[in-house]
Amino acid sequence: MAEDLPTDEYEVVVVGGGPAGQTAALYSTRLGHQTALVDRGGGRAAMTQEVHNLIGVREETSGNEFLGVGKDQLEEYGCDLHRDMLSSCHRTEDGAIELCGNSANYQAEYVVLATGFNDVRPDPPLPRTGRGLHIVCTATRICSSTSRCT
């Protein structure tokens, strides 16, 4: 933990600002818990060119537009949003959880991990299309960004 960084204290810290993290943070905030959402940016939802199959979301909406509406909602309800990358966490002697970021440290009673996962990129790399192709092999599942998700 970097001693020279400020420590922000919350009841709940949600790590990851994709749809899963935003939803968790929205419920936590609306239930009256002092909540922060810490997100490093990027993620799978942010890669989406056009969102499909989401009720209430128009087809031509991009992933970043979709996430932007979520961020506005969270701020309106009083959730603190931090752009930061968390690299470690530990429990303090009094039972709180301390998370270490690049810009600050965060202390919370409860932590929700909603960090998604990273795609395996093909080699040689293909241009980013904002769509996905899932190739299911006998033992391995590879996801690239070459064509529409099926």
Ligand X SMILES: Cc1cc2nc3c(=O)[nH]c(=O)nc-3n(C[C@H](O)[C@H](O)[C@H](O)COP(=O)(O)OP(=O)(O)OC[C@H]3O[C@@H](n4cnc5c(N)ncnc54)[C@H](O)[C@@H]3O)c2cc1C
- 105 beta partners: 7, 100
Compare residues 138 and 141 and give the one whose CB is closer to ligand X. Answer: 141
User: Taking CB under 6 A as the rule, does residue 38 contact ligand X?
Assistant: yes
Cis geometry, peptide bond prior to residue 124 (ω within 30 degrees of 0): yes
Q: In what order do the strands lie in the sheet with 86-91?
A: 80-83, 35-39, 7-15, 105-113, 97-101, 86-91
Which of 12, 45, 108, 112 is close enough to bind ligand X by CB under 6 A?
45
- Contact status: 122 vs ligand X (CB under 6 A): no
Q: Select from 5, 20, 97, 111 the one that contacts ligand X (CB under 6 A).
A: 20
Of residues 36 and 45, the one with the C-beta less far from ligand X: 45
User: Closest CB to ligand X among 17 and 36?
Assistant: 17
User: Of the two residues 94 and 141, which places its CB atom closer to ligand X in the complex?
Assistant: 141
- Does the protein bind ligand X through residue 132 (CB under 6 A)? yes
Binds ligand X (CB under 6 A): choice among 12, 51, 74, 100: 51
Among 19, 36, 74, 105, binds ligand X (CB under 6 A): 19
Q: Is there binding between residue 131 and ligand X (CB under 6 A)?
A: yes
Q: Which stretches does DSSP call E strand in the chain? A: 7-15, 35-39, 80-83, 86-91, 97-101, 105-113, 133-136, 141-144
How many other C-beta atoms lie within 10 A of the C-beta of residue 34? Answer: 16
DSSP state of 67: H
DSSP assignments along 131-148, one per residue: --EEEE-SS-EEEESSS-
End-to-end alpha carbon distance in the chain: 43
By the rule CB under 6 A, 70 interacts with ligand X: no
- Which positions touch ligand X (CB under 6 A)? 15-21, 38-45, 47-48, 51-54, 85-86, 114-116, 130-132, 145, 149
